Chains A and B, each alone.
Chain A
């Protein structure tokens, strides 16, 4: 599903942020992406999200070389990738329901069509009662669950999460990773979850990708 071959990344004429990354990710797998701050986790996630192109090497996703993709094809492909951010990035003026429904609106679905699915998903993530609340009224955990629901509502094949537990307490962190695990198990989504919380890595026995100074030092 995802193949990196000798991939390097630099911003402008700066130094290489990522160097010689070679790995593959199988469909339906769950990976932790870890490493110290500044190791390049977010840059790697941006490559996986197709919002950056590699400076060198080859990235293949869904069987296609991303360097050769047209703008439209890139856009189509990005719709198969969901993303969850540490800082949630919910739109403050939209309710929880409207935030979660956003990807389906972008796909052109009418509200009558997506309303039952969004409602069902919100109930599944425990936000059935908070559907009409604005993000400013949600707790950190609720915001992150809403962000996860938004990322998966369009049933992406790959779900990327950039430090999704960074703004919540350890107990909630664990529950959120359980939610990701459930999505991986029940929907077969390929999940790459970036975190630097070692207790989580120890608690959940998933393969790890350890980045250090832009290089992949462990991929098990």
Chain B
């Protein structure tokens, strides 16, 4: 089965390879590179998902500000609400402003106070949701100044919350990149050991090549070709596995999102859709891993030959 799959993968064309293609060490390295590629692709995909969700989330929240009006003795809430809405609507860059009804406000409190409570007897703070046409151009400072005239009114731009979100997303992205670097370093080390092992195993071939006048460059090229082939195969297998992983996760999440709880998860973490840029990023793992394998093996072989000749 594995042989069949490998047979479909890209192989070196032309004359027979001087360094044997099928060996136990080669298969082990292929498996290792496949795992490393899978981990790299999953990490990269995870980073892309988090970043995309954070950007989308931050953008959604950034397009909206909330005016909160607390009940103040001697003040008429409905009048203050109308003033706040009017002030918001007359502010530059605001698309719309709407006061939440008492029912909507009660719904917002339900998760904390429970359903079925009659809150008409209690005066609860009321909210005005302000949609911004263009967050960059909206005169938020002007609105805040004007709202000072409304007693009990305060403006929440969600800035602190957005900053927290961005910090969290940034931390995840940086952590993901660090993991990628560590995976890369582990891959390089594994290739170095595998190459030195292959050189030792194929010492006879190296000697024969030297005796017939092959340069170190030629020998390094042959080993590089062999490892480039393994790198391409491993990178491709790992990436395909990662794509399958994301497809499965996406399908599972899709099924979960049919429930109400799943919908909340969907709002928080998105739909596990990588998008074109995410897929391109994951596909880029193949040439990167292959190049890393080829370059590392070439440098290792050259060093080995210089040490031994």
Chain A residues within 8 Å of B, Cβ to Cβ: 49, 51, 72, 75, 78-79, 81, 83, 89, 91, 93-95, 98, 101-103, 105-107, 111, 150, 154
Contacts and interface: CB of A to CB of B under 8 A. Distances in A.
Given A105-B15, A111-B15, A93 B20 contact: yes
Contact of B205 (A91, A98, A101): A91
B209 interface: yes
Contact of A91 (B18, B210, B213, B215): B18
A102 B215 contact: no
17 contacts: A49-B211, A72-B215, A78-B213, A79-B213, A81-B213, A89-B204, A91-B204, A91-B208, A94-B16, A94-B18, A102-B208, A102-B209, A106-B214, A106-B218, A107-B213, A111-B15, A154-B212
B213 A75 contact: yes
A105 B208 contact: no
Contacts of A93: 16, 20
A13 to B, nearest CB: 20
Contact of A89 (B20, B208, B218): B208
B213 A102 contact: no
Nearest to B22: A93
Q: How big is chain B's contact interface, by range?
A: 10 to 19
CB-based closest 3 A-B pairs: A79-B213, A106-B214, A93-B20
B14 interface: yes
Contacts of B215: 72, 75
Nearest to B15: A111
Interface of B: 14-16, 18, 20, 204-205, 207-215, 218
B212 A51 contact: no
Nearest to A83: B211
A187 B265 CA distance: 82
Given A89-B204, A89-B208, A150-B212, 20 more contacts: A51-B210, A72-B215, A78-B211, A78-B213, A79-B212, A89-B207, A91-B18, A91-B204, A93-B16, A94-B16, A98-B16, A101-B15, A102-B18, A102-B209, A103-B212, A106-B209, A106-B212, A106-B213, A106-B214, A111-B15
Nearest to A104: B212
A204 to B, nearest CB: 25
A78 B213 CA distance: 6
B131 to A, nearest CB: 70
Contact of B14 (A81, A101, A102, A111): A111
A102 B212 contact: yes
B213 A105 contact: no
**Which of B204, B211, B212 has most A Cβ within 10 Å?**
B212
Contacts of A106: 209, 212-214, 218
Contacts of A79: 212-213
A112 to B, nearest CB: 11
The residue among B18, B210, B211, B214 with the most chain A CB atoms within 10 A of its own CB is B211
